[in-house]
Amino acid sequence: MKTILLVVLFLSIVVGALYGWMKREELSNQTKMREENQTEITEDFIYRWLQNENGMIATYIKNSSQEDEDLVQGREVLAETLGLLMDYALDNEDQTLFNTLYKQLTDYFLEKEGFVNWKLKEDGTSDVSANALIDDIRILDALAMAAENWKTDQYKKTALSISEYLNKKNVVNGIYTDFYDKEYGYASSEISLSYIDIQGMNTLVSQGLLDAEIVAETSQVLIKAPLDHGFYPVSYNVEEKEYIFSDNINLVDQAILAYHYAQVGNRSLEFLTFIKSEMDKRGLIHGMYDRKTKEPTVDYESPAIYGFLILYALEVDEHDLAQALYDRMKEFQVVDKKSEYYGGYSITNGDTHIFDNLIPLLAEQEMKKD
């Protein structure tokens, strides 16, 4: 009798354990499916509402003649958007999408001698005469990686053309600077610290695309940057050899900078502590803060800020923080399937900014891997 009871007890334990394991697997699979669906609905929204007739992705849903603070309006298209989408295509191992983006680069953005327009009008023509260092670096990095992944020489040839232009034009006193204006033959005297992607630039040096000495000097600008109340400078004037701080801290710039720096092993501990403190205290991150008091100076939040902070948190192995930021970011997404804006982030009066959707898409992609 005791033997039978023991057998029954043993079997019940085994069955219970098996059921528990199956339930956990089911929940895990459901979570994975939800995460996969999240990227699908975000991407679908972007292409449904922000794609121009020529296939390129616009900055806003609504057309407008009024420029925003970044000098962009309505259905204009940014090289920054193109580069971020190239990163997304590479992450998904989607060569078809990458080829589409590559064609947009060569058909519309890229001019003779390797100049890349930083923005285009809706029809794909340009009325600007400047490039943007951060956009060109991101595009170069994507082209180099694509050439290596898919063994396509044309990607590398295009990358060489762009890099030769950067190495000649976007340099002042041996340091890369923000932009070069070909109409005036003028290179900016400043480098935004959020533009300094040390890992990306070093990769391009190893590919023979960027000048090693210029990259080393540019990297030192970030490495030697002083902190003020835990925040990084906005930029560095290469002629005056002076760091420039803002009294009003833009969290997007700080998040991008911290993410880039984390990729080469620097955790930006004071900034990390500040973000954790804000999430613990307020449960959210504002868009702007006073540099000295660290109090918010605006009420708004931004999915783009949360997206970059998620990438940063994952890079420094702060997974609980990444999840908290992710949960807050998702509160800005339209999840009502009956809504025409289903899948979009931060829809206000029928409009939204591409970065408030594209950066969350990249963050969603990385959270799937975590």
162 and 217 in a single domain? The answer is: yes
In this predicted structure, what is the pLDDT of residue 69?
85
Q: Is 289 in contact with 230 (CB distance < 8 Å)?
A: no
pLDDT digits (tens, 9 = 90+) for 8-34: 454 455 445 444 554 455 444 444 445
287 and 150 in a single domain? The answer is: no
150 and 220 in a single domain? The answer is: yes
In this predicted structure, what is the pLDDT of residue 17?
47
Mean pLDDT of 142-147: 98
Supply φ then ψ for residue 249, to 5 degrees: -85, 125
Q: Is 255 in contact with 308 (CB distance < 8 Å)?
A: yes
Number of Cβ within a 10 Å radius of residue 123: 12
In this predicted structure, what is the pLDDT of residue 39?
86
107 and 187 in a single domain? The answer is: yes
Let me know if residue 84 belongs to a domain: yes
| DSSP category for residue 345 | B
Q: Is 306 in contact with 322 (CB distance < 8 Å)?
A: no
Let me know if residue 276 belongs to a domain: yes
Domain limit, last residue, from 192, 226, 245: 245
265 and 321 in a single domain? The answer is: yes
| Whole-number Å distance between alpha carbons of 25 and 16 | 14
Mean pLDDT of 158-184: 98
CATH code of the domain in which 342 resides: 1.50.10.10
221 and 78 in a single domain? The answer is: yes
Let me know if residue 49 belongs to a domain: no
Residue 228 identity (one-letter amino acid): D
238 and 89 in a single domain? The answer is: yes
Let me know if residue 8 belongs to a domain: no
Q: Is 258 in contact with 198 (CB distance < 8 Å)?
A: no
233 and 258 in a single domain? The answer is: no
Provide the domain limits for residue 349: 247-370
207 and 313 in a single domain? The answer is: no
Counting the structural domains of the chain, the total is 2
In this predicted structure, what is the pLDDT of residue 22?
47
Let me know if residue 54 belongs to a domain: no
| Whole-number Å distance between alpha carbons of 72 and 67 | 5
Domain limit, last residue, from 187, 215, 245: 245
328 and 182 in a single domain? The answer is: no
In this predicted structure, what is the pLDDT of residue 30?
43
253 and 198 in a single domain? The answer is: no
Q: Is 190 in contact with 244 (CB distance < 8 Å)?
A: yes
Mean pLDDT of 276-303: 98
102 and 189 in a single domain? The answer is: yes
State both tokens at 255: 């998040």
Domain limit, last residue, from 220, 245, 270: 245
In this predicted structure, what is the pLDDT of residue 37?
74
pLDDT digits (tens, 9 = 90+) for 329-367: 999 999 999 999 999 999 999 999 999 999 999 999 999
Own/partner contacts of 95-104, CB < 8 Å, gap of 24 or more, are 95/146, 95/150, 98/142, 98/146, 98/150, 100/55, 102/143, 102/146, 102/155, 102/158, 104/54, 104/55, 104/56
Let me know if residue 173 belongs to a domain: yes
Let me know if residue 58 belongs to a domain: no
Let me know if residue 298 belongs to a domain: yes
Burial (Cβ within 10 Å: 0-12, 13-18, ≥19) of residue 306: buried
More confident residue, 40 or 33: 40
| Whole-number Å distance between alpha carbons of 200 and 253 | 17
